[in-house]
């Protein structure tokens, strides 16, 4: 049984310079993420307590000029990033990426949810 909704499958992933990432989803939705936003939502054990799920990274401490150096697929379910602050341990599942889409439509239609907050 496929537990991942089809609309959470990217059809296109394009790094746009060092500042943003553009994902087109199977349902046609387009999400544009700044690398700073992605870094602020890093789900790795250094940024989120493994036992409580509580965020330990203060999003305000992420540099305004943070850049994305590399984007790599992980299987058919996630992306990994290397950021200019030398952080590269987060595994961003497609479900997480879709849930943090910063577009006005997504923000209006559902609250931004992050486990542990």
Q: Is residue 11 part of a domain?
A: yes
What global pTM score does this model have? Answer: 0.87
Whether residue 35 is predicted with pLDDT greater than 80 in this model: the reply is yes
The residues facing 72 across adjacent strands are 80
More confident residue, 116 or 19: 19
In eight-state DSSP terms, residue 19 is T
- How many structural domains comprise the chain? 1
64-77 pLDDT tens trace: 999 999 999 999 99
101-112 pLDDT tens trace: 999 998 887 654
- The domain in which residue 27 lies consists of 6-109
Query: 52-86 burial by CB neighbour count: b if 16+ within 10 A, else e?
Result: eeebebeeeebeeebbbeebeeeeeebbebbbeee
The CATH number assigned to the domain holding 28 equals 3.30.2020.30
What's the pLDDT score for residue 111? Answer: 56
Q: Decide if 25 contacts 73 (C-beta within 8 A).
A: no
Q: Is residue 1 part of a domain?
A: no
């Amino acid at each position: 049984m496929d537990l991942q909704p089809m609309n959470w499958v990217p059809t296109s992933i394009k790094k746009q310079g060092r500042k943003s990432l553009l994902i087109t989803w199977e349902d046609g939705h387009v999400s544009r993420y700044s690398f700073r936003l992605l870094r602020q939502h890093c789900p790795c054990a250094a940024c989120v307590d493994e036992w409580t799920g509580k965020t330990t990274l203060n999003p305000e401490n992420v540099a305004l000029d943070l850049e994305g150096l590399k984007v790599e697929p992980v299987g058919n379910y996630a992306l990994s990033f290397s950021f200019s602050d030398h952080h590269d341990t987060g595994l961003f599942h497609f479900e997480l990426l879709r849930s943090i889409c910063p577009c006005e439509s997504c923000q209006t239609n559902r609250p931004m949810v992050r486990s542990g907050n």
